[in-house]
C-alpha cells in the first residue's frame, strides 16, 4: 500500500484528550489548544474518523469545542439498566455539539445481554437517523462470542489488534465478510512498544526480549506498527492515539520508511497484552 493509502486507513483515538492515558504517557491529558492543532493536522492529512466515549473523562466536551465537520464520530456508552439509552445518546450529542453519530458502541457489550431492552432502543435510534451504525467495543474473544451467539449483529465493531495481539484475527475476517466494519485499536498497545524494556516490572518478562528486539527499529517502529495493522485487508480503520502534534507528525512521517515487521512465530500470553490486567503504575 502507498503511504497515502495507509494514512487514509487511520482513525484518531481521543482518550488522551480527557484522561491521563497510556503506559508511556508522561505528558498527561492533551491541552485544548494542542487538540485543535491535532484535529487540523488530521483533517489536512485525510484522516476522517474520531473515536471517543462517555467514559473518556471530558474527551467528548473537549471535542465539542472544536471544528468537527471533517470527521465521522464514533462514541461509546455504558449503561446501568435504568438510564434511558436516548438520554445517554443525547448527553454525548450535546457534549460533542453534533446532531448524530456515525457509530454508537456498547463499551461493555455484555450489558446488552443483561439489559436487552437497550439493544431494541438502539435499533429505533438507528432507524430515526440519530445513529448511523450500531456495534460493540470488544475486549476479549470470549465476550464477543457470547454477544454474537445471542444473535446481536453489529454494523461495526472495535477490538484490539497489533503485532503481539492476534486473538481476534479469525473473527475480524468473518465479520468483515459479512459486511461489518472493523476498527482495530491499540496498534501501540497503549505505548508499551516504546517503553524501555529494562524499566518494565517483572510482570512483562515473557515479552521483554520481544519488545527489545522491536525497539531496534528506532523511530521507524511507530510507522511499522501502524503499517502492520493497516495493511490487513479485513481491517477498515486503525485507531491510534497521540499526545502531541510532534508525536502525530512522527507517526505519519515514519509510515513512508516503515519496514515490514518479521513474522511472529509464537503466541503471547493474553494477560501480557491486556492493559486491564497490567500491574498499576
Tell me the average pLDDT of the chain: 94
Q: What is the per-residue pLDDT for 80? A: 84
Question: Cβ of 221: how many Cβ atoms within 10 Å?
Answer: 20
What is the domain count for the chain?
Answer: 1
* 206 in a structural domain: no
Which range marks the domain in which residue 240 is found? 3-190+219-277
Which stretches of the chain score pLDDT less than 70? 21-27, 281
* 133 in a structural domain: yes
Q: What is the per-residue pLDDT for 206? A: 95
Q: What is the per-residue pLDDT for 24? A: 46
Which residues sit opposite 136 in a β-bridge?
106, 157
Q: What is the per-residue pLDDT for 21? A: 55
Q: What is the per-residue pLDDT for 265? A: 87
* 197 in a structural domain: no
* 214 in a structural domain: no
Give the Cα separation of 221 and 225 in Å (integer).
6
The reply to whether the predicted model has a pTM over 0.75 is yes
* 270 in a structural domain: yes
Which CATH number do you get for residue 224? 3.20.20.100
pLDDT digits (tens, 9 = 90+) for 165-197: 999 999 999 999 999 999 999 999 999 999 999
Alpha-carbon Rg for the chain in angstroms: 18
Amino acid at each position: 500500500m502507498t503511504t497515502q493509502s495507509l494514512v487514509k486507513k487511520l482513525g484518531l483515538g481521543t482518550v488522551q484528550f480527557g484522561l491521563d492515558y497510556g503506559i508511556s504517557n508522561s505528558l498527561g491529558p492533551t491541552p485544548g489548544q494542542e487538540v485543535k492543532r491535532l484535529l487540523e493536522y488530521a483533517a489536512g492529512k485525510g484522516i476522517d474518523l474520531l473515536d471517543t466515549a462517555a467514559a473518556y473523562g471530558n474527551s467528548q466536551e473537549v471535542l465539542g469545542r472544536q471544528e468537527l465537520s471533517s470527521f465521522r464520530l464514533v462514541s461509546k456508552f455504558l449503561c446501568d439498566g435504568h438510564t434511558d439509552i436516548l438520554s445517554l445518546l443525547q448527553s454525548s450529542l450535546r457534549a460533542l455539539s453534533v446532531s448524530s453519530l456515525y457509530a454508537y458502541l456498547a463499551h461493555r457489550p455484555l450489558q446488552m445481554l443483561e439489559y436487552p431492552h437497550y439493544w431494541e432502543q438502539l435499533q429505533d435510534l438507528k432507524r430515526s437517523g440519530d445513529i448511523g451504525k450500531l456495534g460493540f467495543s470488544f475486549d476479549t474473544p470470549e465476550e464477543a462470542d457470547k454477544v454474537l451467539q445471542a444473535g446481536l449483529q453489529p454494523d461495526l465493531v472495535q477490538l484490539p489488534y497489533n503485532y503481539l495481539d492476534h486473538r481476534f484475527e479469525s473473527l475480524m475476517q468473518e465479520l468483515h465478510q459479512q459486511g461489518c466494519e472493523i476498527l482495530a485499536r491499540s496498534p501501540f498497545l497503549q505505548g508499551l512498544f516504546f517503553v524501555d524494556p529494562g524499566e518494565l516490572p517483572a510482570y512483562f518478562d515473557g515479552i521483554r526480549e520481544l519488545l527489545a528486539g522491536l525497539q531496534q527499529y528506532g523511530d521507524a517502529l511507530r510507522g511499522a506498527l501502524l503499517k502492520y495493522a493497516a495493511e490487513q485487508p479485513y481491517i477498515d480503520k486503525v485507531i491510534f492515539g497521540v499526545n502531541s502534534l510532534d508525536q502525530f507528525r512522527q507517526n505519519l512521517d515514519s509510515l513512508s520508511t516503515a519496514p515490514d515487521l518479521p513474522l511472529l512465530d509464537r503466541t503471547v500470553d493474553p494477560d501480557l497484552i491486556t492493559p486491564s490486567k497490567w500491574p498499576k503504575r
